[in-house]
Amino acid sequence: MSGIALGRLSEERKAWRKDHPFGFVAKPYKNSDGTLNLMQWDCAIPGKKGTPWEGGLYKLKMIFKDDYPSTPPKCKFDPPIFHPNVYPSGTVCLSLLDEDKDWRPAVTIKQILLGIQDLLNDPNVKDPAQAEAYTSYCQNRADYEKRIRSQAAHFVPKA
């Protein structure tokens, strides 16, 4: 494991614990022995108020490679969600997470999660990853939004 990656992720964890957006979750994965794995984080993104996503809390895994922050983490909804920019596997397709596009080593976990939250209600139709969701979004927006509201109801956090 890279000392650079672990150092940066340790700093990210401290910064997140001090200040993070309301309703979001981001924490290192806890191993079976109780130790933390800084190279994999369990996250959750709330749907924005006033959108069909509202009410849902969407779980996401963030997996970091040894060369982080030179390369972006892999972000994967688990379970996968219905969205034009989310592959059927759950992996997020977003320019911010692409080292050939908008990824920069200075991008923080908070910025990534906020960027994914923005993407939920504002898909990039130029970069589809899920054919059914893309077609529904482009051809029948009312049906798409109905399906998103139904999905949000399925992802309401347990009290």
For the record, the structure tokens of 72 come out as 């972006």
For the record, the structure tokens of 119 come out as 């993407």
Look up 93 and say whether it is catalytic: yes
pLDDT of 158: 82
Q: In the chain, what are the domain boundaries?
A: 1-155
In contact, 33 and 130? CB cutoff 8 Å = no
Q: Pick the closest to residue 122 from 148, 156, 90, 87 (CA basis).
A: 148
| CA–CA gap between residue 150 and residue 70 (Å, rounded) | 38
Mean pLDDT by 10 residues, the chain (159 residues): 90 97 97 96 98 98 97 98 98 95 97 98 96 98 98 91
Q: Is 1-155 CATH 3.30.230.10?
A: no
| CA–CA gap between residue 159 and residue 106 (Å, rounded) | 35
DSSP letters for 99-119 = TTTT--TT--HHHHHHHHHHH
pTM for this prediction: 0.95
Q: Which of 43, 75, 93, 138 is catalytic?
A: 93
